[in-house]
Structure 1
C-alpha cells in the first residue's frame, strides 16, 4: 500500500489515530457569521396609511342562510352538471365539442339523462383495473 492510502486496521481493532474535535466555526449549532434571520422593520415611507384599529371595529358577520341569495338551478343545468361529474369520475377528459353534446343530452328527459349517466359509470368501472387487497 502507498503512504497516502494506509492499510486499514483489522476488523474490530481500534485505529491508533483519533480525530480532532470540530472547530467552532465548523459546528452546526454555532454560526461563524453573525446572522440575523429577522427582517428589518419597514421604512416609514413604505407603510400604508390607515387609521388605527379600534377594539369596537369588527368585521361584518357572514350572512345567515336565510339571507343568502339563493336561486333555483334550472333542470337542464343540473343535468349538465351531473353529466359532467359522471364523465370526470369515469376519467373522460372533455374535448372541444363535448360541451355542446352534453348540453343537448341534458336537454332530454330525466330518465334519458339517468340512463346515460348509468352507462358512463358502468363503462368507467369496467375499463379501470383497480388493485384488490390481498
Structure 2
C-alpha cells in the first residue's frame, strides 16, 4: 500500500499479517513459554547503592506509605535528611510508621 503524504514523497506501509496479531490466539498456537533464568551479573545487587541513597529511597517510601507523597520541592529536604546518621533515620522511619 502506498500513501502520498504530499505530491513529492510517497510513503510505503507494510501491513502486518493479521493472523499473527489475532486475539484470542488460534487453537493449537503455542502462547506459553518459559523465560530464561536471570543472569546474576545483571542483578541490582551488583550495583552498589550508597547508604545515603538507601536512606533517601527508604524515606521516600516511608513518606508515601504515611500518605505524604514527596513533592519535587521536597527533594532538597529529603537529601539533607538522608545525610543524617542511621539512628536518626531509623527514628524518622518509626515516627512516620506510627503516624499512619
1:89 pairs, out of 65, 84, 95, with: 65
- Matched position secondary structure for 2:53: helix
Larger Rg: 1
Q: Is the alpha carbon distance of 1:121 and 1:63 closer, same or farther for their aligned partners in structure 2, counting shifts above 3 Å?
A: closer
| 1:107 matched to 2:75 | no
> Distance between the aligned counterparts of 2:38 and 2:98, measured in 1?
42
User: Which residue of structure 2 aligns with residue 64 of structure 1?
Assistant: 39
RMSD after superposition: 2.2
| 1:122 matched to 2:90 | no
> Distance between the aligned counterparts of 1:104 and 1:47, measured in 2?
55
User: Which residue of structure 2 aligns with residue 74 of structure 1?
Assistant: 50
> Distance between the aligned counterparts of 1:88 and 1:104, measured in 2?
18
User: Which residue of structure 2 aligns with residue 29 of structure 1?
Assistant: none
Say how many residue pairs are matched: 68
Map 1:37-56 to 2 at 5 A.
46-47=14-15
- Matched position secondary structure for 2:84: coil
Q: Is the alpha carbon distance of 1:108 and 1:62 closer, same or farther for their aligned partners in structure 2, counting shifts above 3 Å?
A: same
- Matched position secondary structure for 2:42: coil
Shift of 1:64: 2.1
Cα pair 2:56 2:79 within 8 Å, conserved: yes
TM-score, normalised relative to structure 2: 0.58
Structure 1 gap segments, 5+ residues each: 1-44, 49-60, 125-134
Higher strand share: 2
Q: Is the alpha carbon distance of 1:63 and 1:113 closer, same or farther for their aligned partners in structure 2, counting shifts above 3 Å?
A: same
